[in-house]
Chain A
Amino acid sequence: MTRLIVGPFNRVEGDLEVKLDIEDGRVETARVNSPLYRGFERILTGKPPADALVYAPRICGICSVSQSVAAAKALAEAQGVVMPPNGELAVDLVHATENVADHLTHFYLFFMPDFARDVYRDEAWHLAAHERFVALKGTASQDILPARAQFMHLMGILAGKWPHTLSVQPGGSTRAVSSGEVARMAAILSSFRRFLERTLFGDSLERIASLSSAAELEAWASEKRPESSDFRHFLSLSEKLGLNRLGPSSGEFMSFGAYGAGGRPLFAQGVFNNDVEALDSSAIAEDVSHAWYKASEGAMPPLTGETLPDVERSDAYSWCKAPRLGGEIAEVGALSRQLVDGHPLIRDLAARDGGNVHARVVARLLEVALVTIAMEGWVDGLRPGERFIDHSKMPDDGEGAGLTEAARGSLGHWLKIENGRIANYQIIAPTTWNFSPRDANGIPGPLEQALEGAPVRQGETEPVAVQHIVRSFDPCLVCTVH
């Protein structure tokens, strides 16, 4: 048996180290370490509750708005305030802009460059993949950066700036928009749609959204040559490399539900395990048996959880806690969201091969189409002149939970207010679920299990299969180690 320590791992948000035990060219066990501790939960304790809206987005530069949304929801529950329709739409738009931009950043800048690696240089497809996706120099990064920046102009209008806006409040948005700005946003979305349809998909967003089975997806892909669009290009590489057999999911799929405008979320909340069940958020608890924190009496529910670093703990190997749902691991992300919401294409992919690298990437790109279409409707639904925010007094004592979905999965904030100050603040980020270390029962986290069995080529120090699997989760370690 040989041991590999893979790190620093780049093109993930934040710091990551993976320890692999390798036997007969396969990963036998994996231990995932988040090697940075930041201590936001400790910073927030003792602060005026409203200040959480300044600190929380700064947990993460890539899911900044998701952090704001979770904090605002938790405060809203404590305050008993409800957003007016414009507020819901504006906040959903800001949130969706971030999530869609994150999906694209992940696909183009973080995930695809691995196919340009030297290890693939003898493959017939390598030249085209290299030309399109190689880091920093590929033609794709030259296309995506300006398109993404222009799409983010929605943030300039709706949120002042990105990342780290303060426009997202418990009662709505601080930024009312005018009719002229509604028109500008519609134009920005239209231009963005053109980029997606020409460059990413090579087809209409509606056609992508309506693909309803793995067979239909295959038939669609074969309509044109692989290099005619980036999605087709990926599908072709995925087929050649068998990415549907790489990085299998092993637990339940969980989604907190996303985008609430109009009372019904765009993506439903629930847990998928061949069938959808309701989410029991009271069954969420964090285990610290293998993390550098003072031992607690069993797994702690977040509302009463604590964060007490203990760097000397010998059985620990990560700053990431191990959240469990009813004692079980759960995978979160676009794949989980679409399985819970019941998109027929994603359900069919999972029915055939379970969760895997291929399904995670397809679900993410499918969401780009679904969410962009929804955003066009939300912009149209804005009513300039009507309220965007309702104000309400902050109570001296109270508690609240804010559950939402970041691009990379379920995000929850839990807070307690006492005597007008934050008495406890706990955050469980998406990657905390996916990249969790082992729990008290020795059960590895979702990534640790997904890595088991991954092939390792002769002489590889950073196995390329491991790179694909890790990045397929779109990890955000800065959130994880808040």
Chain B
Amino acid sequence: MTRPLPERRRPLRLFWMQSGGCGGCTLSLIGAEGPDLLATFEAANIEVLWHPSLSEQSGRAVIDIMERIIGGEETLDILCLEGSIMRGPNGTGRFHMMAGTDRPVMDWISDLAAKAGHVVAVGSCAAYGGITAAGANEVEACGLSYDGQKEGGLLGTDFRSQSGMPVINVAGCPIHPGWLTEMLHMIAAGRFGTSEIDEWERPLSYTMHLVHHGCARNEFYEFKASAEKLCDLGCMMENLGCKGTQARADCNMRAWNGSGSCLDGGYPCINCTAPGFEEPGHSFTLTPKISGIPVGLPTDMPKAWFVALASLSKAATPPRLKENAVADHLTRPPADRQKKTR
């Protein structure tokens, strides 16, 4: 008896659009490793219908693909949008017209989203408006289903894609390549449902962690040995605006570019996966304080306990940490007292 061949799944068709953004999420994504991006697409059985940086087709051929999708002649399994929706000026969308069509990009996005199996906002711009919505937001930038923290955005609160899912917000500025590739694999395997997203519809696979988790500066945090200026090795929460104890992402567990993270690079977490991160209400690299106590305390931590523990641990800070915290390189490494020096 011959065994039946395993059923060959139809490839998932992905269409990628860019609007009011910097293209940085794509540039980050093509740095995917273990495996690289093309191997990822192959492994997840994803067929790229079009991607603005990767595909051959230009002009009319692209418009044809979009028209076929909207007309129902072409299946669209995954629609990715990178960059904010540009609604300005005065809701006309004329700040971003689709080249070759004389039609606002936001209208194309709405039409395509209505046909898509999954709609994915790639990066904080597409998710919530992001950096493009900073300042007075004169360009009326918003996300697919949020305008900052406010629900709605372009597609509205009730939007569900063909799969029944809301817009999936792979937030970050930029995204880590792994955040997206992991999610694509999960969608391809049929394992991505509403239980896989958090309260802002971000994939839990990376937002179940705090940036604080795995931070190489944790020992300094424990003893409140704080950095005073950018480049110091100490904890950046007290003085330099670091939001790692509140920010949701696994940046210190999932290395960036082989080994890095913002904190490893010597600068604070600016909470770029959160809606509204672009307008923190204070200078990014300065911690706002009220009578010497940072305003933004760690997630879930009662203020009184934080203050009590902080003063206790400050009193117990070993000289090694006190010294290293305000140096730009390790001046006093750990020493083993078992080893007698002659």
* Known contacts A156-B256, A389-B231; A174/B27 CB under 8 A: no
B98-110 near A? 1/0 per residue, CB < 8 Å = 1111000000000
Which B residues are CB-close (under 8 A) to A46? 135
Asked if A146 is at the interface of the complex by the 8 Å CB criterion, the answer is: yes
Which of B15-23, B185-193, B218-226, B292-300 contacts the other chain?
B15-23
Structural contact, B255 and A167, CB atoms closer than 8 A? no
CA distance A158 to B62 in the complex (A): 39
Structural contact, A64 and B284, CB atoms closer than 8 A? no
* Known contacts A175-B265, A388-B231; A8/B98 CB under 8 A: yes
Asked if A50 is at the interface of the complex by the 8 Å CB criterion, the answer is: yes
Which B residues are CB-close (under 8 A) to A16? 99
CA distance A42 to B136 in the complex (A): 8
Closest to A46 in B: B135
Structural contact, B266 and A167, CB atoms closer than 8 A? yes
CA distance A152 to B177 in the complex (A): 13
Closest to A64 in B: B24
Which B residues are CB-close (under 8 A) to A105? 27, 30
Which A residues are CB-close (under 8 A) to B260? 155-157, 159-161
Contact partner, A58, options B41, B131, B267, B285, Cβ 8 Å: B131
* Known contacts A35-B99, A142-B38, A161-B260; A174/B23 CB under 8 A: no
CA distance A238 to B98 in the complex (A): 32
Which B residues are CB-close (under 8 A) to A13? 23, 53
Which of B5-13, B88-96, B201-209 contacts the other chain?
B88-96
CA distance A136 to B30 in the complex (A): 11
CA distance A174 to B234 in the complex (A): 12
Which of A108-116, A211-219, A328-336, A349-357 contacts the other chain?
A108-116
Which B residues are CB-close (under 8 A) to A387? 328
Contacts of A39-64 to chain B: CB distance below 8 A: 39, 42-48, 50-51, 54-55, 58-62, 64
Which A residues are CB-close (under 8 A) to B132? 38-39
Structural contact, B266 and A174, CB atoms closer than 8 A? yes
B239-270 near A? 1/0 per residue, CB < 8 Å = 00000000000000001111111111111101
Which A residues are CB-close (under 8 A) to B33? 146, 149-150
Structural contact, B255 and A478, CB atoms closer than 8 A? no
Structural contact, A36 and B231, CB atoms closer than 8 A? no
Structural contact, B55 and A136, CB atoms closer than 8 A? yes
Query: Closest Cβ of chain B: how far from A47's Cβ, in Å?
Result: 8
Which A residues are CB-close (under 8 A) to B28? 61, 162-163
Which A residues are CB-close (under 8 A) to B56? 113-114, 116-117, 134-136
Contact partner, B31, options A17, A152, A385, Cβ 8 Å: A152
Chain B interface residue count: which class? Answer: 35 or more
Structural contact, A153 and B99, CB atoms closer than 8 A? no
Asked if A29 is at the interface of the complex by the 8 Å CB criterion, the answer is: no
Query: Closest Cβ of chain B: how far from A415's Cβ, in Å?
Result: 15
Structural contact, A135 and B89, CB atoms closer than 8 A? no
Closest to B26 in A: A61
Query: Closest Cβ of chain B: how far from A471's Cβ, in Å?
Result: 10
Structural contact, A461 and B264, CB atoms closer than 8 A? no
* Known contacts A37-B139, A51-B284; A156/B62 CB under 8 A: no
Structural contact, A175 and B266, CB atoms closer than 8 A? yes
Asked if B138 is at the interface of the complex by the 8 Å CB criterion, the answer is: yes
Residue of A142, A176, A391 with highest tally of chain B CB at under 10 A: A176
Asked if B86 is at the interface of the complex by the 8 Å CB criterion, the answer is: yes
Asked if B32 is at the interface of the complex by the 8 Å CB criterion, the answer is: yes
Which A residues are CB-close (under 8 A) to B134? 43, 55
Structural contact, B27 and A61, CB atoms closer than 8 A? yes
Contacts of A68-124 to chain B: CB distance below 8 A: 105, 109-110, 113-114, 116-117
Which B residues are CB-close (under 8 A) to A35? 96-99
Query: Closest Cβ of chain A: how far from B5's Cβ, in Å?
Result: 25
Closest to A162 in B: B257
B21-47 near A? 1/0 per residue, CB < 8 Å = 111111110111100111001000000
Which B residues are CB-close (under 8 A) to A116? 56
* Known contacts A7-B99, A167-B266; A176/B231 CB under 8 A: yes
Query: Closest Cβ of chain B: how far from A149's Cβ, in Å?
Result: 5
Asked if B165 is at the interface of the complex by the 8 Å CB criterion, the answer is: no
Asked if A141 is at the interface of the complex by the 8 Å CB criterion, the answer is: yes
Asked if A309 is at the interface of the complex by the 8 Å CB criterion, the answer is: yes
Asked if A347 is at the interface of the complex by the 8 Å CB criterion, the answer is: no
Contact partner, B48, options A8, A110, A136, Cβ 8 Å: A136
Asked if A462 is at the interface of the complex by the 8 Å CB criterion, the answer is: yes
Structural contact, A8 and B100, CB atoms closer than 8 A? yes
Query: Closest Cβ of chain A: how far from B237's Cβ, in Å?
Result: 16
Structural contact, A54 and B95, CB atoms closer than 8 A? no
Asked if A178 is at the interface of the complex by the 8 Å CB criterion, the answer is: yes
Which A residues are CB-close (under 8 A) to B62? 8, 10
Structural contact, A388 and B328, CB atoms closer than 8 A? yes
Which B residues are CB-close (under 8 A) to A58? 22, 24, 131, 173
Interface pairs A-B: 10 shortest CB-CB: A160-B265, A61-B24, A7-B99, A174-B266, A156-B257, A153-B258, A7-B100, A156-B260, A17-B99, A161-B256
Instruction: Show 10 A/B contacts (Cβ-Cβ < 8 Å), sorted by A.
Output: A36-B20, A36-B97, A61-B27, A61-B28, A136-B54, A146-B33, A146-B36, A152-B31, A166-B285, A309-B138
In the complex, besides A35-B97, A149-B32, 16 extra interface pairs with C-beta distance below 8 angstroms are A44-B135, A55-B134, A58-B22, A61-B26, A150-B258, A153-B258, A156-B258, A159-B260, A163-B28, A166-B262, A166-B268, A173-B231, A174-B267, A175-B231, A175-B266, A462-B61
